[in-house]
Each structure stands twice: as C-alpha cells, then as structure tokens.
Structure 1
Amino acid sequence: MGDHTIQRVEINGGVVTGVDGSASSKRALVAAAEEARRRGSVLHVVRAWSLRTAPRPADCPPNVVPSVDQFEETVRADTERIVAAKLGEHADLPVEYHIVHSPPPQALLSASKGADLLVVGHRGRGGFAGLMLGSVAEQCVRHAACPVLVVRPNV
C-alpha cells in the first residue's frame, strides 16, 4: 500500500467516542450516548483500524488478502453491530460513524478538534494500577482539543 497518510476525522460539534470492541470502549459508548442525549447532539463513533486489528472479511477465501475496501466494510459492519447492541434505550439517537485507517489516538485527537466532548474508556486494573489510564485515554486527556470524559470501570 503506497498510501500511508493517516486519515483524519473532521466533525462539527457533538459527542465523540472511540469503539474498538473492548469492554472499556463499550462503557465509554454508553456514557457518550447519555451525554449526547443530554445535550441534544449527534453521537460520533470513531473506529480506528489497521490491517493488524481489523476483523477478517467473512466472504474472503483464506488464501486471498482482502482489499482495504473489504476490510473497511467489515470494520464498519462490526462497529455498527457493537453500537446497536449497546445503545438500548438510546437506539433513536443520531449516530455518525467514522471508520478510519489510523492509529486510535490520532483518530480521536483529530475528532476532538471539532467536538464538544470526547468520551474515552480506561482499562483499570484495581489498586494503584487503577490510577493508570490506558495509553490511548492518557494521550486523549493530555492532548485533546475539547473536554474529555474518562469512564472508569465499575469497581
């Protein structure tokens, strides 16, 4: 792949969260939906992916390397499925998806430039380790261009 440019996420207002399928990102998704509802704004769901992290397209034969477009479609479908499963009573909330081939911190930080709020989960470990944010959450807290809400695990 000759194109190594990092895709940016450009939005204009609303609440942003990143979804990657982890438990902490699902908690952040629910909190972000609640915030978007409270503010009467759009929920922007960012899914940053790479060839290493993307789910493999189901209809692609084992010996064939899927195209970037096929990967992107699979990642989008996976993300929409996660969101539909978690939103529950917020199912009628306006949601915009941003599926970007980018490292997660860069995707979320670029989205933060136009957002009203960025919601991130963090993978607490309990005890003193529970004070440590995941590297993505930490980078967002330090560098985001908008307020950041960090959703802690239910301890």
Structure 2
Amino acid sequence: MPDQTFQRVEINGGVVVGVDASASSLRALAVAAEEAARRNAVLHVVRAWSMRTAPRPPDCPPNAVPSMDAFQQEVERETEKLVQDRLGDTGVTTEIHAVHSPSPQALLAASRGADLLVVGHRGRGGFAGLMLGSVAEQCVRHAACPVLVVRPSV
C-alpha cells in the first residue's frame, strides 16, 4: 500500500474553525468569527479535503481526473468564496488553510498553535444517533487547546 503524505496546518495563535460547507460547519464559522473578533485574533479557516470530497475544477474535461494542484486550487477558491459569502467584511483577519488531509488530523495539528478550536456538531460524515460527530469527538478528546463544539440552532 502506498504511503500517503498529508499536509499539516501550522499556526501561531488565533481561533481555528473546521469548515466542510455543511450547515453545521457554517454555523461554527459564524461563531468562530465572533470569537476571533472578541479576542482580536486571526480566524484560521481549515478545510481538509480528499479527492472524494474536493469540488471538481470546472475546467476539467469529463472523464479526466484533475491533478492534485487543480483540486487544491479549486478547494481554496471554493473555501474563500464560502467564507466571503458567509462573513462578508467583518474586519476579522482571516486565513484560509485548505489541506489534503483527513479532517481530524488537520484540525488537531492546527490546535497545537491555536488559542481555541471551533467545530460543528455534525458534519458531512456523521452517523445518526451519535451525540457528537466523529470529528468533533476526536477534537474534544485530543486537541491541544480548548474546543468549542457548536450545536445546531433550534
């Protein structure tokens, strides 16, 4: 089996939020932006992706597989647009980290330098009936900083 090398997120301070375009992660994004504003801190938006979850570049012909660089660029573009659409101009300094990595590993790596990690209660890969999604649970158990799990609005 080939050895897969994943990217890591390394930051120095600020609020980290995991985003995957799910409703839960978009709520977490809004809460994380509020926390970053309160703390006068940088908001680090982490979008972990795989070939299965990355958006397909629009200029890629049918039946062709985009390059990893093309996937990376499209994930970055989509994430930047999502953040701009959801947050607008809040005055909070925002940095996008689109990384080819499983979500838990990307968020846990970012937590090593973060002041706070914000995750949504349910993301794209959840199993019905779990109290926390598997990513949120791993973050709560293993993060190197405080974790805020954002529940869905009622």
Whether TM exceeds 0.5 here: the answer is yes
**Partner residue, 2:92:** 93
Equivalent residues in 2 for 1:20-99, closer than 5 Å: 20-88=20-88, 90=90, 92-99=91-98
Change (3 A) 1:130 1:153: farther
**Partner residue, 1:119:** 118
**Partner residue, 1:153:** 152
Give aligned-pair identity as a percent: 74
Consecutive unaligned residues of structure 2, counting only runs of 5 or more, are none
Looking at structure 2, the residues matched to 64 and 105 of structure 1 have their Cα atoms a distance apart, in angstroms, of 29
Measured after TM superposition, the shift of residue 121 of structure 1 is 0.6
Looking at structure 2, the residues matched to 12 and 35 of structure 1 have their Cα atoms a distance apart, in angstroms, of 16
Alignment TM-score, normalising by the size of structure 1: 0.91
Superposition misfits of 4+ residues, deviation over 6 angstroms? none
Report which of the two has the higher share of helix: 1
RMSD of aligned alpha carbons: 1.7
Looking at structure 2, the residues matched to 6 and 75 of structure 1 have their Cα atoms a distance apart, in angstroms, of 15
Could you report, residue by residue, the CA deviation over 1:85-136 in whole angstroms, capped at 9, with x for unpaired residues?
A: 111452x211111111000000000000000000001029xxxx77701110
Q: Which amino acid aligns with 1:132?
A: M
- Secondary structure in structure 1 of the residue aligned to 2:114: coil
Between the two proteins, the alignment pairs up a number of residues equal to 149
